[in-house]
Structure 1
Amino acid sequence: MRSNISAFLSGLLFAIGLGISGMTDPANVLGFLDIAGAWDYRLAFVMGGAIAVHAALRPLILGRERPLFTAKFPTFSASGVDRGLLVGAGLFGVGWGLGGYCPGPALTSLATGAMPLLVFVPAMFAGMALAQVPRARRSASAGTPVPGASPAP
């Protein structure tokens, strides 16, 4: 229960930060991506601030014996750069460049009820679900479970 509250409060703080920084407005993001035109540098400061906070706090957090609200730190098995990572990153970048939204700001902006978001967010979730299909097929053929994927029928 405490970890759910912590996750909710972290997400809420992130959403508030996105709103205050103006990153829920796709025009700001698209302006940042327009390096050959009327470049808007503000997103660079938002990203720089986030990276600085992460860089300062990560060693302190990982230096703890365990997290505050759960039993252990998550582990990830990084397998390096592969075709799936490159394709996924490319699709993310194209979607971000065309729509001006990435998942966090899109969900935060969904509260506005703007029609483009009512199309973008379901399409984003459909893409996330669709991206799990090849992983689930590979894992099913190898006999290993896919973290976060639904069990095969």
Structure 2
Amino acid sequence: MIHLASYFVVGILFALGLGLGGMTDPHRVQGFLDIFGDWDPSLAFVMIGAVCFHVVTYRFIRKRATPMISAHWHIPERKDLNAKLIGGSLIFGAGWGLAGYCPGPALTSLASLDTNVYIFVGCMILGMLSFGFVETVIRKSKSYN
């Protein structure tokens, strides 16, 4: 139960940070990404603040033998760049730039009851399910060859 409570608290803090930082406003995000047009640099300060906070707290966190709510650290071990990572990054960036939302802010923005947000989240879920389907089809076709 403590895990669920901690996930809930962290999720609320994350959502509040996204809202206060302006990440749930697609026009602000698009303005930040439009560096050759009417550029809005305000989200750069949000990013700088987040990086500074991480740099300070990371040193304290990594001194612990284990995380506070887990038996061991879960750190990715892969270090290579592959086509799936690069392709996914390109799709993520294009979607973020076109719609002004990425998954976290989109889910947070569901509370606004804006129809456009619900359409975006529905399409996002459809894309996630499609990836799983396509991945399975590709894996099966490779096993037949």
Q: TM-score range by the shorter chain?
A: 0.7 to 0.9
Higher helix share: 2
Query: Shift of the alpha carbon at 1:61?
Result: 1.0
Q: Structure 2 length normalisation: TM-score?
A: 0.88
Query: Shift of the alpha carbon at 1:135?
Result: 4.7
Equivalent position of 1:11 in the other structure: 11
Q: Deviations over 1:19-60 (max 9, x none)?
A: 112221101000001101110001111111111111211222
Q: Deviations over 1:83-137 (max 9, x none)?
A: 1011100000110011000111101111111111111001112212322345556
Q: Distance in 1 between matches of 2:9 and 2:102?
A: 20
CA distance change for structure 1 residues 141 and 66 in 2, over 3 Å: closer, same or farther? farther
Q: Secondary structure at the match of 1:86?
A: helix
Amino acid at match of 1:62: R
Consecutive unaligned residues in structure 1, runs of 5 or more: 144-153
Consecutive unaligned residues in structure 2, runs of 5 or more: none
Q: Structure 1 length normalisation: TM-score?
A: 0.84
Kindly, what percent of the aligned residue pairs are identical?
A: 43
Amino acid at match of 2:129: A
Q: Distance in 1 between matches of 2:117 and 2:91?
A: 18
Q: Distance in 1 between matches of 2:43 and 2:115?
A: 24
CA distance change for structure 1 residues 60 and 138 in 2, over 3 Å: closer, same or farther? farther
Equivalent position of 1:148 in the other structure: none
Equivalent position of 1:150 in the other structure: none
Amino acid at match of 2:112: T
Instruction: Give RMSD over aligned pairs.
Output: 2.1
Identify which range, 51-60 or 85-94, moves more after superposition.
Answer: 51-60
Q: Secondary structure at the match of 1:97?
A: helix
Q: Which has the higher contact order (CA 8 A, sep 6+)?
A: 2
Q: Distance in 1 between matches of 2:134 and 2:108?
A: 29
